[in-house]
Structure 1
Amino acid sequence: MANIKYEILEKIGKISESPKGWTKELNLISWNGRAAKYDLRDWAPDHEKMGKGITLTKEELKRLRDTLNGMNLG
């Protein structure tokens, strides 16, 4: 398996935490030295292991925000 390098540039927020201590987080991350993207995924307590997630550009994050704001979650 290829070695994936990442750098968490900004921890934006924790969404939830499992009983085992894994957290679902929104962060700004640079993957393999590339331009940073917004990233939503599960992380082990030490941030050494991660689950599958999604990355979003700033424009995609804005569209997601607008979509969520338009939802009726009541």
Structure 2
Amino acid sequence: MAEVKYEIKENLGILSESAKGWTKELNLVSWNDYPAKYDIREWDPDHLKMGKGVTFSAEELKKLRDILNELDL
């Protein structure tokens, strides 16, 4: 399997932290030298290992925001 290249352009916030120090974060990440996208996933403390996550374009993130704003939380 080919190596995935990534660069965290901006850390936008930490959503949670596990007992082992992994953090679930919202970041702006460039994957394989493509333009950066918004990304939610878990990272180890050194940002060398990651869990599965999901990426969003700016438009998708705006739609997600709108959906979340409509929820009665």
TM-score past 0.5 threshold: yes
SS in 2 for 1:47: coil
- Show the counterpart of 1:21: 21
> Partner of 2:66: helix, strand, or coil?
helix
- Give the percent of matched residue pairs that are identical in Structure 1 and Structure 2: 66
For structure 2, the residue ranges without an aligned partner over 5 or more in a row are none
Q: Report the alpha carbon displacement of residue 57 of structure 1 after superposing the two structures with TM.
A: 0.1
In the alignment, what sits opposite 1:48? 48
Show structure 1 runs of 5+ residues with no match.
none
RMSD (Å) for aligned C-alpha atoms: 0.5
Q: How far, CA to CA, are the matches of 1:36 and 1:20 in structure 2?
A: 28
SS at match of 2:47: coil
- Deviation for aligned residue 1:2: 1.3
Aligned to 2:72: 72
Q: Which has the larger strand fraction?
A: 1
Number of aligned positions between the proteins: 73
Report the Cα distance in structure 2 between the residues aligned to 1:51 and 1:19, rounded to whole angstroms: 15
Q: TM-score, normalised by structure 2?
A: 0.98
Give the TM-score, by structure 1 length.
0.97
- Give the distance between the partners of 2:56 and 2:27, measured in 1 at CA: 10
